[in-house]
Structure 1
Amino acid sequence: MNSTQSSAVDCITFCAYYEKWLQIYKQGAVKDVTYNKYVMTLRWLRRLIPDLVIQNLNRLNYQDLLNRYAATHERQTTMDFHHQLKGAILDAVDDGLIDRDPTRKAIIKGKTPSPKKAKFLNQFELHKLLSALDISGPLNWDWFILLVAKTGMRFSEALALTPNDFDFSRQTVTVSKTWDYKSGKGFLPTKNKSSVRKIQIDWQIAIQFAALVRELPKEEPIFVKTAVFNSTVNCRLRKLCLKAGIPVISVHGLRHTHASLLLLFAGVSIASVARRLGHASMNTTQKTYLHIIQELENKDVDLVMRSLSGLT
């Protein structure tokens, strides 16, 4: 490398390097929603360290970057920000643009988390919600809410359902695709291979939806007529929760509710719940519903103790 080239490299800002790194390593290699998170990180870099030359990135100014970001974000969000930067930084170290890894021993801080919404409903609350639904007429968002509550499908999976996905004789619905409600690109693949699955539905749902979808185009989504927004359905769900006098949850909270009721009240195994939800592994289910699993373990301990105390 001649002196002119060396001088050009010395002038590269970390923002410019990170932008190029995204284009080369991430664009087209990750889902759009993930790529957009990296782009948001780039926007924050331009705001916080627009002129920092990459060779000058060290542990001190990297920690200062994290601290300034953490001042307006919760700790988990700051952790995600750190992880999205670290890959590019380690590549810059490998490329000889930075002498040492400035992310080593980084301290992750963040704002105190804001009060969280309820993530799921109990059995009594879910019954009140379903009783408040308006399902006396044609397909609407109340029917959508009922279906998600009874199947545990993801929002995008339920949006992608077509009449062909229902097998009413076997009382199943097939999840094989998702609907891109964010970019409007139509059908997309599922989140992972395990997400392709058949979900058993109860006879009531089977009879109701058999009548609802009978005259609809077989390969077109039954709930999507115009542009769909997650906020639209969540707004409707919020009104229903308030009407029923129960905690306000999101549509994704219906998925958590479904899993929670299966684990706590129906006694379904973790493996079966994982398959029904389309999780890649039981580890995902265990991590997501650790609090419920611990509650079940406490019940098991009580049952064991009662059994043992009855032995003479």
Structure 2
Amino acid sequence: MLSQIKNTDLLTMYYEQWVKIYKEGAIRKVTLDKYYMTQTWLEKLVPSLRLCDITRITYQQLINDYALNHERQTTMDFHHQLKGAILDAVDEGLIEKDPTRKVIIKGKTPTTKKIKFLNQFELHTLLINLKLTQKINWDWFILLVAKTGMRFSEALALTPKDFDFAHQSLTISKTWDYKGNGGFLPTKNRSSVRKIQIDWQTVIQFSELVRGLPSEQPIFIQKEKIYNSTVNDILERHCKLAKIPTISVHGLRHTHASLLLFAGVSIASVARRLGHASMTTTQKTYLHIIQELENQDIDLVMRSISNLS
């Protein structure tokens, strides 16, 4: 237990126990893995640092050392995961003063990440080349992600019960643990629980496909383990055959959002459809598209003003 730890014990040992007591079973596995990664970096950067030796200077040096190999946002995440444990150690009297106060977060300059997505013609070319059989296959999966913008894990978790064909909607309320041992998991965040409107053609197609299937069993999951790379490989082959840019399944999500934005759909509506926690996430992710649309707006404003004379 944490109460057995002394102020002369190692930070790595304290943090490891803190994660086991306070985080295991309380957070999603994908988030817990980030805490484990922080533990790995502590063992690498400060393997002999004792709790009683942690000061603002030693903590800042730890953050600086981590920042040498990571971007600022990643360093911020590292700091936040570590800070929770350290503040508890302060409360327990293991560390005299809060060493995280006024910490300065540094980091490498972020690399330019260009989001890969298809334009409307390219997406149309991809979809008409899919092999949509009378039974569920991965091509149907690709079609549905392209038309809804769902996350990979959300689409894997879909069951016949999630379709409301009468109201042309799809309920997203869970994900599939494809990185672990399978089974349903909660959504990424509260905002990810949502209803997505689907077009009448998709309604007709999937009402036939899921007929007779168990209502609460995932329609895309068979007995074998599912890997993201498996579906990405299938999508890549389709892209090459269609002679369009190669994108991933996540790229289909970006494609869906991009086409909506270019069509004039509001950022708020796109954010809700994607299940983003806030519009800020949408704005940051699709900043280049929003800027392009703003440039078009400026041209429109200038033309409108010039017509006044």
Smaller-chain TM-score range?
0.7 to 0.9
Is 2:281 aligned against 1:284?
A: yes
Report SS of the residue matched to 2:296: helix
Which residue of 151, 158, 164 corresponds with 2:148?
151
Report how far residue 290 of structure 1 moved: 2.7
Residue 191 (structure 1) shift: 2.6
Q: What pairs up with 1:115-264 in 2 under 5 angstroms?
A: 116=113, 118-225=115-222, 226-264=224-262
Change over 3 Å in CA distance of 1:112–1:157 after alignment to 2: closer
Q: Could you tell me which of 31, 42, 45 is aligned with 1:45? A: 42
Assess if the C-alpha contact under 8 Å between 1:70 and 1:111 holds in 2: no
8 Å Cα contact 1:161/1:221 also seen in 2: yes
Name the SS of the counterpart of 2:93 in structure 1. coil
Shift of 1:62: 3.3
Q: Where does structure 1 lack aligned partners over 5 or more consecutive residues?
A: none
Alignment pair present for 1:27 and 2:47: no
Q: Per-residue CA shift, 1:96-150, capped at 9, x if unaligned?
A: 333444443334233773x746432222222232233222452211110110010
**Count of aligned residue pairs for this structure pair:** 305
Separation in structure 2 between the aligned mates of residue 106 and residue 187 of structure 1, nearest angstrom: 40
AA at the equivalent of 1:240: H
The alpha-carbon distance between structure 1 residues 105 and 134, as it changes in their structure 2 partners (threshold 3 A), is same
C-alpha distance in 1 between matches for 2:65 and 2:268: 43
Please say if 1:62 is aligned against 2:59. yes
User: After the TM superposition, which of the residue ranges 158-167 and 96-105 deviates more from structure 2?
Assistant: 96-105
Alpha-carbon shift at residue 75 of structure 1 (Å): 4.2
Unmatched runs of 5 consecutive residues or more in structure 2:
none
Q: Percent of aligned positions with the same letter in both sequences?
A: 67
For residues 168 and 227 of structure 1, the distance between their equivalents in structure 2, rounded to whole angstroms, comes to 29
- CA shift, 1:238, in A, is 2.5
Q: Residue 239 of structure 2 aligns to which amino acid in structure 1?
A: C
The corresponding residue for 1:109 is: 107
Alpha-carbon distance, 1:26 to partner: 2.0
Cα distance in structure 2, aligned partners of 1:112 and 1:267: 30
Taking the aligned partners of 1:60 and 1:248, their CA distance within structure 2 comes to 48
Mean Cα deviation higher: 164-173 or 71-80: 71-80
Instruction: Name the CA shift for 1:291/1:100 in 2 (closer, same or farther; >3 Å).
Output: farther
Q: Partner of 2:171: helix, strand, or coil?
A: strand
Distance (whole Å) between structure 2 residues aligned to residue 233 and residue 224 of structure 1: 12
Alpha-carbon displacement from aligned partner over 1:60-100 (angstroms, at most 9, x marks no partner): 44344344434444444333223322222233334333344
In structure 2, what is the Cα distance between the partners aligned to 1:269 and 1:22?
41
Moved over 6 A (4+): none
Letter in 1 for 2:81: Q
Distance across 2 between alignment mates of 1:142 and 1:124: 18
* Distance (whole Å) between structure 1 residues aligned to residue 189 and residue 80 of structure 2: 22
Q: 1:80 to 1:239 in 2, by over 3 A?
A: farther
Residue identity in the other structure for 1:245: K
Equivalent residue for 2:12? 15
Indicate conservation of the 8 Å contact 1:118/1:247, yes or no.
Answer: no
Report the residue type matching 1:152 in the other structure.
G
Contact 1:71–1:111 (CA<8 Å) still a contact in 2?
A: no
